[in-house]
Amino acid sequence: MNISPLAVVHPEARLGQDVTVDPFVVIERDVVIGDGCHIHPHAVIRDGARIGKHCEIFPGAVIAGIPQDLKFKGETTTAEIGDYTTIRECATVNRGTASKGRTVVGNHCLIMAYSHVAHDCVVKDFVIIGNASQIAGEVEIDDYAIVSGGTLIHQFTRISKHVMIQGGSRIGKDIPPYTLVGRDPITYCGINIVGLRRRGFTNAQVFLIQDIYRTLYTRGLNNSEALKAIETEYEPCEERDLILNFIKTSKRGIVRGSIDEI
């Protein structure tokens, strides 16, 4: 390990092999940091942080800060960061509350500067959160979602896989898989074709997803009618089933369709 003598590292903190800790870092007692991590100057790693392997925490970031939730009573909780994840300058990831007990950021994620991930959020793998985005408590963001800069996400909202959110958006409804959303107020703007092609989706898969969303948003059906039509008109497959299950289990309701398309 390469630990600067100007860093403050609690002797009971557990650091893996080949960890670099730069000057003016603070690492508290109940902390676990995996092999090969780099903690940059002025980062603060607080009690309850669990950081995986080969992560990079940039200056001013705070991991496992106390939740900004008045219901928090000092219970023992964690903020868990997966492997190969980068937390940029002044980003904050709060630890959990009694609600779920932990906040999770997955593997290979990029949390850009000045972003905030609040208590009890679950951010899964390969997610990108743009600069200055603010993620409220108990939000769920699924694999490969991209949240562009300056986005505000209401608590308890769910964002599904392979979603692309326009910068500056205000998200108060659930965002179904494979979609591109933006405008103000937030609306469905099509599917995330560029992202899907980059991740190896075939033309047949892309066309199927497009067709399912035409049924949902452009045929003049309400959600119940659209779900029934999707179930009866399309053969079961991973893409169809993911869309159906997400919409059926949505508690906040899904983003509305674009007026231009309707």
Furthest CA-CA distance within the chain: 66
Give φ, ψ of 194 to 5 degrees: -60, -45
Q: Which of 106, 137, 149, 195 is catalytic?
A: 137
54 is catalytic: no
Residue 102 forms beta bridges with which residues? 78
Query: What is the full DSSP assignment across 48-93?
Result: TEEE-TT-EE-TT-EEEEPPS-TT--S---EEEE-TT-EE-TT-EE
Q: Which of 119, 143, 162, 195 is catalytic?
A: 119
Measure the CA–CA gap between 8 and 33, rounded to whole angstroms.
15
Q: Which of 47, 120, 143, 174 is catalytic?
A: 120
18 is catalytic: no
CA 242 to chain centre: 18
48 is catalytic: no
- Catalytic positions, written as ranges: 119-120, 137
